[in-house]
Structure 1
């Protein structure tokens, strides 16, 4: 088990989390007192569903019809009418 201070954890949490992911356990200390323990999660626990594979589904969305106006006043008037 390794020990890390709150200040060290704030400065660079990435290294600690990489080691926790690899199976290491950390004790977090503040003023030389243990306040928390960071342990790897069991592989049987799944907090989030796995990410979906594949491309985006933007092609399934209806195409937006672009409109133009001759002047900004005409465009604003058109928006107010909606």
Structure 2
């Protein structure tokens, strides 16, 4: 990752922004401390890239069977019992 100071960015933003458009990522520094990042729009910092392309494999997930009542009356009785 390249770095650019606030002063450099203020004096010549065109060069830095052209490099970002080309895919470079910059850390913005003030007094040698990183205060921010400039990244291309297709890069989302903090979100890792997917491990594999394609649909998710959900067959390994445990099956979830929701608890339901056979009839509406059972459901109403169950709701009354909770209170």
Stretches of structure 2 that go unaligned for 5 or more consecutive residues are 44-83
- With normalisation by structure 2, the TM-score equals 0.50
Q: State the shift of 1:17 in Å.
A: 0.3
Q: State the shift of 1:30 in Å.
A: 0.2
Distance of 1:19 and 1:32 partners within structure 2: 21
Cross-structure match for 2:6: 6
1:1-82 correspondence runs (5 A)? 1-42=1-42
SS of the residue corresponding to residue 7 of structure 1 reads helix
RMSD: 1.3
Distance of 2:38 and 2:27 partners within structure 1: 6
Size of the aligned set, in residue pairs, is 43
Q: State the shift of 1:10 in Å.
A: 0.2
Instruction: Summarize deviations over 1:4-60 as a string: whole Å, max 9, x none.
Output: 0000000000000000000000000001100000000018xxxxxxxxxxxxxxxxx
Distance of 1:18 and 1:32 partners within structure 2: 23
